[in-house]
Structure 1
Amino acid sequence: MVRKFLYAVAAIIVLITVGRIALLFWAEDLTEMAFVPDVTFQPQPAMAMNAWDKSDMWIARPGMLPKADPSRYLPQGASLPAGKPLSAAVFFVHPTSYVEKNAWNASLNDQASRDLAGLYVKGMATPFNAADQLWAPRYRQAAIGAFLTDDPQADKAIDLAYGDVLAAFDAFIKTVPQDQPIVLAGHSQGSFLLRRLLRDRVAGTPLAERIAAAYIVGWPVSIDHDLPEMGLKPCDRPEQAGCVMSWLTVADPAETAQLVKAYVRRHGLDGQPLTQKTAQGVAIDSPFLCSNPLTGTRNGVADAQANLGTLVPDPASWNGELVRQIVPAACESDMFLHIGPPPKLDLGPYVLPGNNYHVYDYTLFWANIRADFERRIAAWQKQHS
């Protein structure tokens, strides 16, 4: 079993490294050719109503053995709060782990994407594991190429993924006591889908009062076209509950044109385009939210002294440790979260072209996100005591 696991990890490294090299050396059009599926979208039947009642449809959920649940991992230097776990339920949607182009949606049985999704949960969902309930569903995620094209088939693939996440959320919400706060968190594709879920399941309903925070990280949240539809305000204060945190991390000098292109390719949650025609061409019509995880505020600025711990991985052992006070963060006028020059940390080979630290949106600020989460749960409990 150990040998099979190492083979799977090696395959994941190859997939990610090949993708990174493609992004680094190929032009934008060639990048799309490399990742956009070259097959016809195949409609798939809806999952059974009770599909997510089964434990194998979850990467993480209460009741799993700790060794089988990647969300229960703690890096060196981290600890759980003293006493009982926090009374809170977290719903985490992992980012894209399917980088093939032979299908528009990943099969639930695709081993490479399953293994990589588990690693993502281990690195990104673990800041929330002080909660007594942490759930992370499996879903038929859209291929990475679906976010690199205007092909209408991409929308069908994303809709399929969203249907799965929505069904998983409905199964999750049935288990949460009525008096318990809920936190939604995701990254990249997971965040893209959670925006829509907030509009369709939370905004304007009693459930909105139960949301302690939503961490919509790694995908832009339009201030004008998304936030009003999501039914939550941005987090302006570190002790605020019922609000949205969102950021996209880059180092300097940053090249963000392709990220912005992916953002404006989709309409806002209100159905409106995110661009407008100007004399100079096409410009972004709506700024997007930049939250600073070091300050817990919108448009915040903090030096490295405020960073409570970056999760630095050890690829040899698939473990990691927290390193304090290395990475600063500042929301700048381009709406991205800038960390200054690339940090002098061995984070691995997954920094994307243009100093894009997308893969590290959570791990760069692991300990601060954990503290932010605990503060917002406490704020919610104080409001509802």
Structure 2
Amino acid sequence: MFVKKAISVLYVILISLLCFSCRSTYKTQAFLQENIPVKPDYTKESSWAVLPTKYQENFKTHASNRLDTLQADVFYVYPTLNTSKKDIRWNVPITDKEQNNTVLNKAVLMQASAFATSGKVYVPFYRQAHIRSYRLFDKGGKEAQDLAYSDVKSAFEVYLKEYNKGRPIIMVGHSQGTTHTVRLLKDFFDGKELQKQLIAAYIPGIRVKENEFSSIKLMKSPTEIGGFVSWNTYKKNHYPKKDKDWYKGSVTTNPITWDNSIETTLKEHKGFLYTNGKIYNEALTIQITDGLVWSTNPKFPLRFFMSFLKNYHAGDINLFWQDIKENAELRTNTWLNIN
């Protein structure tokens, strides 16, 4: 009983979002127009998971006490949450209560919260594509991801028109959220006027090449602004069982030192956010390899059960939560001091 409970808790800790190392067979159906969920209206607050005017109480514990003093914004796109093998839907409607609860109490709480002291946070609900859209990209997956992106794009357009008011922006995505955020960066920022407002883009959890953008550059120091950072986390000395070469050549930002350091010490790690709300510092060390950030098994309650896990994808952000929080604050202050 204890083991089952512990494993269940660990599942929540790591926000089991997306696993590129498995090729499970999913039930599916043809992508048909009549099955597409209703398009969201982002002029309505109900279409947003988070707005500065609607922070959940658990999210407020990580946010600034002086929201009115924040001079920047954060636009966050959450990762793949629909991974059910029984769910044949290509896209989840934004009225799906189970999905929305997961968005708010896993993804937003454990990821977007790291940026809540740097800017006012905006998180749209969107008709997210099922995880199989990556494996079955040519059999409905592309259409599903394009539909999801159309929502994210519409939400961002409303954000710019109704909320931004010329404020600097931190762009954040993870996993599928990064897939869409990369497209947003290309459509709205890369070589365009809005790039002047970009503080930084944090886009882990998907393969991103250093030359992904024309004008938005990879940031290689902790105070750089106007560029992007990205990484994919795995247990030290392990690779995906399949698609081992998929990550090779992708960006591997050091999410602790934010520079070209290849290894870190325990003392450098600022903190892992655990589901009990506590932050465990000096919990892990990392090593940079080709395409992956290798992490030691972090020191935290129930760490024994995590020792069996090799893919740390789901922890790309909360494993380095305090490190990201402080770096986002630093880059924001740097941008504000220059502009």
* Bin of the TM-score, shorter chain as denominator length: 0.7 to 0.9
Higher relative contact order at CA 8 Å, sep ≥6: structure 1 or structure 2? 2
Corresponding residue for residue 295 of structure 1: 257
Corresponding residue for residue 29 of structure 2: 39
Corresponding residue for residue 124 of structure 1: 111
TM-score by length of 2: 0.85
Cα distance, 1:309 vs structure 2:
1.4
Amino acid at match of 2:97: Q
Cα distance, 1:80 vs structure 2:
4.3
What CA deviation, in whole Å up to 9, does each residue of 1:33-90 have, x standing for no partner? 1x3x421112237736xx11111111111111542xx54342xxxx848896431000
Distance in structure 2 (CA, Å) of the matches to 1:56 and 1:185: 21
Distance in structure 1 (CA, Å) of the matches to 2:323 and 2:10: 31
Corresponding residue for residue 184 of structure 1: 171
Cα distance, 1:149 vs structure 2:
2.8
Alignment length, in residue pairs? Answer: 324
Corresponding residue for residue 5 of structure 2: none
Corresponding residue for residue 56 of structure 1: 46
| Contact 1:88-1:377 within 8 A present in 2 as well | yes
Corresponding residue for residue 76 of structure 2: 92
Corresponding residue for residue 338 of structure 2: 383
Distance 1:244 1:352, change over 3 A: farther
Q: Which runs of 5+ in 1 are unaligned?
A: 1-11, 265-283, 315-319
Distance in structure 1 (CA, Å) of the matches to 2:219 and 2:333: 15
Structure 2 residue 318 is matched with structure 1 residue 359: no
| Contact 1:220-1:289 within 8 A present in 2 as well | yes
Distance 1:14 1:87, change over 3 A: closer
Q: 2:98 aligns with which of 95, 104, 112?
A: 112
Structure 2 residue 110 is matched with structure 1 residue 148: no
Amino acid at match of 2:73: A
Q: Which runs of 5+ in 2 are unaligned?
A: 1-7
Identity %: 25
Distance 1:300 1:379, change over 3 A: farther
Amino acid at match of 1:313: T
Amino acid at match of 1:72: K
SS state at 1:135 partner? strand
Distance in structure 2 (CA, Å) of the matches to 1:171 and 1:296: 32
Distance 1:305 1:349, change over 3 A: closer
Cα distance, 1:203 vs structure 2:
0.9
| Contact 1:256-1:354 within 8 A present in 2 as well | no
| Contact 1:94-1:121 within 8 A present in 2 as well | yes
| Contact 1:85-1:132 within 8 A present in 2 as well | no
What CA deviation, in whole Å up to 9, does each residue of 1:136-172 have, x standing for no partner? 1100000011112343310000000000000011111
Distance in structure 1 (CA, Å) of the matches to 2:31 and 2:144: 7
Corresponding residue for residue 195 of structure 2: 208
SS state at 2:239 partner? coil
Q: 1:137 aligns with which of 124, 129, 140?
A: 124
Corresponding residue for residue 3 of structure 2: none
Corresponding residue for residue 221 of structure 2: 237
SS state at 2:183 partner? helix
Cα distance, 1:237 vs structure 2:
1.0
| Contact 2:236-2:286 within 8 A present in 1 as well | no
TM-score by length of 1: 0.76
Distance in structure 1 (CA, Å) of the matches to 2:327 and 2:233: 18
Distance in structure 2 (CA, Å) of the matches to 1:99 and 1:207: 34
